[in-house]
Amino acid sequence: MRKTIVFSLGGSLIAPDGIDTKFLAGFRQVALQYVRGGNRAIIICGGGNTAREYVNAVRKLNPKATSTELDWLGIEATKLNAWLVCDVFGQAAEHQLLYNPTKKIRTGKKIIIGSGWKPGCSSDKDAVLAAITYRVDTVVNLSNIDYVYDRDPKRFKGAKPLPSLSWLKFQRIVGSIWKPGAHVPFDPIASKLATSRGIRLVIMRGSNLANLKAFLAGKKFRGTVVS
């Protein structure tokens, strides 16, 4: 059966320390293979380290900068990443960015690229909004972790991976407040919205492209499913 999936593509995968052309080439191949089967992919790009560097610089030089001002700065970084990804896909993708995830882009292209939209959240929320707009039941968050853990694995050796959990338990982990440049498995504001709309969230390490292919093929994969 043909399917549409919304990807929340972490900016730290796109440009962790400079542009990761190897990852982008591999991701393009996986996504193209997916849509050749008649499926559709909506890819919402985050700002990642690019956004964090700019936000941290402003915080240092202007401590009075508001969260809204910092968010707008981060949004511009998501747009830069989105145009990069769009150009990487070339003619396979629609070359009108999805800036406003509450409005459909009418196109025959099977790949749509989007960016951040408004302050007060990360691009994760825009991915959820795109899922609502296009009536998609699953958002795949491609990040730098294999699973969500019950505790921070960087601080606690005994942290356990959670292959599946409820939205209620997940919200206890990520909290309820968004801070520009925050490091969380998924934006708390996006989580609330996804919970209210019954959207399934899949979190996995984006750089593990073989794992992503397995998931898209309906096979066993490493990752956390939140529903």
Helices (H), 66-219: 67-89, 123-133, 167-174, 188-197, 209-216
The pLDDT of residue 181 is above 90: no
**Tens-place pLDDT, residues 39-67:** 999 999 999 889 999 999 999 999 999 99
Please tell me the predicted confidence (pLDDT) of residue 102: 97
Q: What letter would DSSP give residue 98?
A: B
Q: What angle do CA 12, 195, 30 make, to 5 degrees?
A: 40
Residue 182 has pLDDT above 70, yes or no: no
pLDDT digit string, tens, across residues 117-149: 999 888 999 999 999 999 999 999 999 889 999
State the average pLDDT for the chain: 93
Mean pLDDT, residues 82-88 taken together: 98
pLDDT class of 154 with cuts at 50, 70, 90: confident
Q: Are 154 and 161 in contact (CB under 8 A)?
A: no
The number of beta carbons lying within 10 Å of the beta carbon of residue 159 is: 14
Distance CA 195, CA 208 (A): 27
Alpha helices (runs of H) in the chain, residue ranges in sequence order: 11-14, 21-36, 48-61, 67-89, 123-133, 167-174, 188-197, 209-216
Q: What is the mean pLDDT of residues 190-196?
A: 94
Q: What is the pTM of this model?
A: 0.94
CATH (residue range 4-226)? 3.40.1160.10
CB atoms within 10 A of CB 47: 32
The Cα 189–Cα 151 span in angstroms is: 20
Checking DSSP bridges between strand 138-143 and strand 111-114, what pairing results, if any?
unpaired
Amino acid residing at 39: N
Q: Name the residue ranges covered by the structural domains of the chain.
A: 4-226
Residue 86: pLDDT band (50, 70, 90) is very high
In this prediction, residues 150-175 reach a mean pLDDT of 88
Can you give the pLDDT at residue 178?
78
- Predicted pLDDT at 223: 97
pLDDT at 32: 98
User: Do 223 and 204 touch, CB atoms closer than 8 A?
Assistant: yes
